[in-house]
Structures are given as structure tokens and as C-alpha cells.
Structure 1
Amino acid sequence: MQQFTNSFGKVFLTVHHDAHHQWIYNEWRGLLSTDAVMQGCVGVLEVLRQTKCPHMLNDNRAVVGSWNQANDWIAQEWMPQALAAGLTRFAHVVAPGIFGQASAEEMHQRVGNLFEMRLFEDLQHARQWLQEAAALPG
């Protein structure tokens, strides 16, 4: 498990490789600056490269506000690297409220054709979707 903190020492991201379920679980929280999103995404890439885990569960339920400002970087820099590292399925649990949902929907429109990405309103359905994928014959 890795944790990332902002300049005030507050944790904004926890990354956990769940080998049993075959996914990387990212729990984002708080108000995310572009720098924080980029720093966290680079950390997630490292875990992806180390584990070669094809599925990701991105949990934004505790995120406050929008992170649209990072979507260009995510689409142009992070996604190609994540795909090269083996990412095939990305379950994204949206933050409550209009800003987080709009950010997630914009990201989905940009990258949705590169790999399987689905948006979820709750963690249970996101986990279920990834578990179904893990059970498919390889």
C-alpha cells in the first residue's frame, strides 16, 4: 500500500494492490490540485508496472470538486502509459455532486474507446463488474 500526501501532510490518495481480486484500488480524497492528480497518477502507474495487474478500481467518493484541469494530462500522458503497462479494465466510482461526476464523464469520453472503462455511483457495483471480468477465461 502506498499513500500520497499534499503539502499540508494530508493523504489525498491511497493505492493498494489487491492480489486476491486482481485489481489495483485507488482511494482519492479531498480537493485535488492538478499537481496532486499528476503525482498520484504517476504513483498508480508505478504500482501498475510492478504488479502487471490489468484491472483498476478508482474510488472518488471522497473527492471534493472538479479535477477537469488534469484530464488533458490524463488522456495524453497517463493513459498511453497505463495501456502499455497492461491496463484493460478501469472501474471509476464517481464523487457525489455535479463537479466530480462531470470530471469523470469528460475523462470517460476522452479515453473510453482505448480500454473498458465504466462509471459507477457505488463501490459495490464497480467491484462486481471487475470480479466478473476476473472470472472470464483468459
Structure 2
Amino acid sequence: MPQVYLNTAYCRIELDEDIKAVIIEWFGAPKSESFRSACLLVTKALKENGYSRVLTDNTNAVIFKREDQQWLNEVWLPEAEAAGYRASATIIKKDPFVRFAVDNIVKDRDNVKFLNQRFESREEARSWLKTLVL
């Protein structure tokens, strides 16, 4: 049974011990405060468990505010990297706006020290993360 860090109307955060990853699944578009506190909880889970992988499931997400996307790259990402974050598998629906937003978030990341791949199913994302040697 997975260890659940958060389970609310806007997101669920849990550990996947099999792939040594933190999973965050978004539902709708949370308020900025809720979005940011959930992201910081992911950082805490990475650090506490010595994990370097995050699986983000945006299947049921709505585009996050531009300010939150900027905060994610400028504030959260350096903190997450300091906690060990090195790989991200992102599940996104076919919505072109969500795809654009996800691409915008990851476009400036260093592809040498950070691996990122997007998928259409959780099984594909888990399989890819499981193969990584970090």
C-alpha cells in the first residue's frame, strides 16, 4: 500500500516504492497557495525518502496560473534539485493547452542533469522511470 502524503480535492501525493518515485496527481486547477504547498510537500517527500524521480499525472489537471508556472521554475525547481530531484515523467492528456503549459515549464531545464519525458499513461511513465539509473 502506498504511503500517502496528501489526498485532497485538488491533488494526491504518494510514494511509489517500486520505482522509487513521488507521484503527484492533479485534479482541476488549485489555488496558488494550495498548488505551491503541494509542490513543497513533493520536495519534502523526495528528501525524506532519498528519491530522485517524480511522476506527475496531469490527466485531470487544468492549466496552472502563469505565476505558478514561473514560481515552479524559479523557486521550487532549485529546492527540488537540492533535495535530489533528477527525473520527471509527466502524464498529460491530449489537450494542446495543457501540453503547451507543460512544455513551457520544462523548456529551460538542463537536459544533461535533468531527465524529463511525457507520456499518455501511468504504466508507460512508471516503466520509463523504473529503467533510469540515477
TM bucket normalised to smaller: 0.7 to 0.9
Residue range with higher mean Cα deviation, 24-33 or 49-58? 24-33
Alignment partner of 1:93 is 2:96: no
Letter in 2 for 1:59: D
Match of 2:36 in 1: 38
Residue range with higher mean Cα deviation, 11-20 or 60-69? 60-69
1:52 is matched with which residue: 34, 50, 53? 50
Alignment partner of 1:23 is 2:26: no
Give the whole-Å Cα distance in 2 for the aligned partners of 1:77 and 1:29: 22
Contact 1:59 1:94 in 2 (8 A): yes
State the Cα deviation string for residues 65-85 of structure 1 (Å, max 9, x = none): 344331111111111111111
Alignment partner of 1:128 is 2:131: no
Give the whole-Å Cα distance in 2 for the aligned partners of 1:124 and 1:112: 26
Superposed CA RMSD in Å reads 1.8
Give the whole-Å Cα distance in 1 for the aligned partners of 2:63 and 2:20: 30
Match of 1:3 in 2: 6
Give the whole-Å Cα distance in 2 for the aligned partners of 1:59 and 1:67: 17
Aligned length: 130
TM-score calculated relative to the size of structure 1: 0.83
CA pair 69-95 structure 1, distance change in 2 beyond 3 A? farther
CA pair 99-68 structure 1, distance change in 2 beyond 3 A? farther
Give the whole-Å Cα distance in 1 for the aligned partners of 2:42 and 2:71: 14
Query: Tell me, which stretches of 5 or more residues in structure 1 are unaligned?
Result: 6-10
Match of 1:117 in 2: 116
Query: Tell me, which stretches of 5 or more residues in structure 2 are unaligned?
Result: none
